[in-house]
Amino acid sequence: MTTDRLEHYRAKRDFTRTSEPPGARKDARNGNAYLIQRHEARNLHFDFRLEHEGVLKSWAIPRGPSMDPGDKRLAVRTEDHPIEYGAFEGSIPKGQYGGGTVMLWDEGTWEPVEDPDEGFREGKLKFVIHGKRLNGGFALVRLRSDTGRKQGKENWLLIKEKDEHARPGEGGDLVESQLTSIHSGLEMEEIAEQQPEWHSNESVEANVKRLKSAKRVAAARRSPRARSPSPRKAERKATAAKKKRKRKSSS
């Protein structure tokens, strides 16, 4: 296949101005990553992504996923995204395509139940998700009415299958109750404030490098060792203080 799967993605973005990765051209791997990014752009939505043949197949779900089989959620098919974008959490500058805050809301792997190529083509994909917030069987079904397709947007439904992970009657609560990043533990506002910005006066390489180093700094900050002395050290300190008090009271 010679067509570039990410052609549409690239066409919409100017990579001298945005921190989103440009994406590998070749199918670098054949992984099965699954992820959801909570995206506060002009309208809040949840970007549902399944890795397939070197790209992230993508749908924007305005109301987010539900664990209730009776609660079907509209999922608007969007352009394939590069695998690297699946690790992105941070801010896209205002005025740029998708400008706003992006939170990694769920991550894991997915497994097709039937032939996935046929599923994507026929508009009926059955699969199992192994995520941190979503689990079990799901289906993505393209709607027959093609009012959306005429505008280049396909309307699908994300439907939870009936299984032991289903939560009839309360599956819709997930989106409202889980408000932190599965990756960093941060809330949307914190992500917008704390994640590094892209500087358009620097090269793409320099920006990617800076994002990576910012990630390392954040990881070091989160590690308990960097924040407080080791438990043993703290224990020694406490014992010394006790001895000191004892000496004081006996003198």
Number of residues that bind Mn ion (CB under 5 A): 2
Cβ distance to Mn ion smaller for residue 55 or 166: 55
Beta carbon of residue 38, minimum distance to Mn ion (angstroms, whole number): 9
> Binding to Mn ion (CB under 5 A): which residues in 10-39?
39
Please write down the HEC assignment for all residues of the chain. Answer: CCCCCCHHHHHCCCCCCCCCCCCCCCCCCCCCEEEEEEEECCCEEEEEEEEECCEEEEEEECCCCCCCCCCCEEEEEEEEEEHHHHHCCEEECCCCCCCEEEEEEEEEEEEECCCHHHHHHHCEEEEEEEECCCEEEEEEEECCCCCCHHHCCCEEEEEECCCCCCCCCCCCHHHHHCCCCCCCCCCHHHHHHHCCCCCCCCCHHHHHHHHHHHHHHHHHHHCHHHHCCCHHHHHHHHHHHHHHHHHHHHC
47 interacts with Mn ion by CB under 5 A:
yes
Q: Which is nearer to Mn ion, 20 or 68 (CB)?
A: 20
153/242 with CB nearer Mn ion: 153
| Least distance in angstroms from the C-beta of 148 to Mn ion | 16
Min. distance of Cβ 91 from Mn ion in angstroms? Answer: 13
Supply the minimum distance, in Å, between the C-beta of residue 51 and Mn ion. Answer: 17
- The reply to whether 49 sits near Mn ion by the rule CB under 5 A is no
State the residue number with the nearest CB to Mn ion.
39
- The footprint of Mn ion on residues 103-122 (CB under 5 A) is none
* H or E segment and range at residue 215: helix 204-222
Q: How far is the CB of 20 from Mn ion (least distance, A)?
A: 11
Choose between 92 and 125: whose C-beta lies nearer to Mn ion: 92
Name the minimum Å distance from CB 191 to Mn ion.
14
CA dist., res. 128 & res. 161, Å (int) = 9
Looking up tokens 């709607």 gives: 143
Which listed range, 14-22, 40-48, 114-122, 219-227, lies at the site for Mn ion (CB under 5 A)? Answer: 40-48
Which among 12-20, 44-52, 121-129, 130-138 is the span making contact with Mn ion, rule CB under 5 A? 44-52
Binding site for Mn ion (CB under 5 A): 39, 47
